[in-house]
Every structure is written in C-alpha cells, then in structure tokens.
Amino acid sequence: MANTYTQVHIQMIFSVQNRISVIRKSWEEELYQYITGIIQNYNHKVLAINGMPDHIHILIGMRPTQALSDLLQDIKGSSSKWINQKGFVNGQFSWQEGFGAFSYSRSHGDAVIEYITKQKEHHKKRTFIEEYLEFLKKFDIPFNERYIFNPVEYETE
C-alpha cells in the first residue's frame, strides 16, 4: 500500500493446549526461528520472541496488510504442524484456542522487549495464569474466567 505509514506494536501471548509444559529448551530456539519466519513472510517485524515451556510471547511491528487473527491462525497452525512433523513431542501437539494481544506505544517498546526477553526469570515469581489475568486487567479487557484456562474436556466411553 503506497503512501501508508504506520507504527503498530502488538504483543501476542498464546499457550500450549491445556498449558502443558512441552516446549523443550533443546528445540525452543528453532521454534522461535520458525515462527519468526512466518511473521516475516507477511512483512511484519519481530521485535522480541521468548517464552516458557507452556506459552510464548511475541512483540511485533505489525503492518496493516493483514488481520491479527489471521496472522495468529497461521502462526499457530503452521507451527503446530511443524512441531508434529519434527516429532518434538510424544502425541499430537497443539496450541490452546484463542490468544491475548496487547498494543503498545513506541515509548514502551524497550520495556516490553526486556519483559519478553526475561520471561524465565519473571516466571520464577509469577505463574502464567497470574501473568495473563494481570494483562487482561491492566488493559481493561472484559473476560469471563469460565472461558480462560479451562482444560479441554474429553469424553470417555
């Protein structure tokens, strides 16, 4: 889009299905590189990516050429397929349905990047659930706890 100038910084947070800690240190960097490639293929800019064994944080400079939900659908779908093809986990890997997305001004960029970079240190003090609920409250996003962090129910025969 000629003559379109934007500066949109979005932090995306999403978790492994049922928040099971399956992302291993041995392949997490390869996963981050794979996800970075997906984002860059859409001409967005990855500013930071990091996470824990059960979830990921990504800060991007987002171009106005794509809906955020479409980008997340591709990131999660493609990376799930890639993880399964690589055989990194026993059984079928999948991401939890849904995601969190939070916008930031440029002046907050360095702080958000530092926060994402130091995820492992941060989570020595706070659980993912505590962190996520804090984001929702901080950004004044209405939510129903009934739909957050509930494990997927499986029918038994």
**What's the pLDDT tens digit per position in 64-105?**
999 999 999 999 999 999 999 999 999 999 999 989 999 999
Q: Is residue 30 part of a domain?
A: yes
pLDDT reported for residue 153 = 43
pLDDT reported for residue 149 = 60
Q: Which CATH number belongs to the domain containing residue 14 in this structure? A: 3.30.70.1290
Expressed as residue numbers, the domain containing 75 is 9-147
Which SS3 state, helix, strand or coil, does residue 148 take?
A: coil
What total of structural domains would you count in the chain?
1
- Residue-wise pLDDT tens digits, 6-57: 899 999 999 999 888 999 999 999 999 999 999 999 999 999 999 999 999 9
